Amino acid sequence: MRKVYEELTVAFRRHKGVLHPDQYDRIVRKHTTLFEDSDTIYELLKVAGYPIEREEEHYRYRPWFTPWREETYCVIDIETNGSKPDKSQVIEIGAVRIRNGEIVDRFETYVACAYLPDHIIKLTGIEPQDLVGAPSRREALTMLRAFLGDAVFVAHNAQFDFSFLNASFERFGLGSIGNPSLCTIDLARRTFESERYGLAYLNESLELGASVQHRAYCDARAAAKVMLKSFETVPDHVASTDDLIRFSTSSKKERRRS
């Protein structure tokens, strides 16, 4: 499905957020099987969190039309017992949903795990007994999938959290993550100057007042505060959610042209 997300997004941007059915069909048919027609792919896209909408005569890419200030963002942080999703797992998940600059919902859970290396215990303070009776990986990931919905996936160093969770979702038959993603490091680098952009450093230097301690929920809240700080200085030409996502990865040359 990753190819579908990428090709659809490129096409939507080329056609100002709208695709006619034949344009949509040409893309998804390249990725269909005997058991998946274009309508089935549409339902899979929706379940995966890809922000597509179907109207009578066309398909819409919602981030193209949604003002970024009115968007829903799901800021996520995970703690794991290793760095590779094929050899390790999530042990704690924390997330907050942000809308109109306010936290409107929160999610926090340990995840059952049989093995915690000593260095992870020292780093996070999570002990093996904390995970006894916690939801299984499938249960925890299913709950996170529901909490995420079709919000923008946000994290500090989003590439790690996104790729680790995406691999974990696929491993447990939950599909891939189709949500647009936003990295608070990338956005911070383009909205304010700082000597460093690590979460703990930004929390202290910006006096955000968040507790940063390698615990999922606390770090998710801290990352949300960094995002909201960045929002204060987003340029006026950034209007939609899609504008914001593209701005967060734009080069200096691209920003000078804007």
Active-site positions read: 214
Amino acid type, 83: S
β-sheet bridge partners, residue 61: 52
CB count within 10 Å of CB 255 equals: 12
Determine the distance from the C-alpha atom of residue 59 to the mean position of all C-alpha atoms in its chain, rounded to a whole number: 23
Whether the CB-CB separation of 60 and 46 falls below 8 Å is answered with no
DSSP 240: B
Question: Rg for the chain (alpha carbons), in Å?
Answer: 19
Q: What is the dihedral of CA 192, 196, 199, 202, to 10 degrees?
A: -50
C-alpha–C-alpha distance, residues 49 and 153, integer Å: 9
150: closest CA among 48, 43, 2? 48
C-alpha–C-alpha distance, residues 174 and 139, integer Å: 11
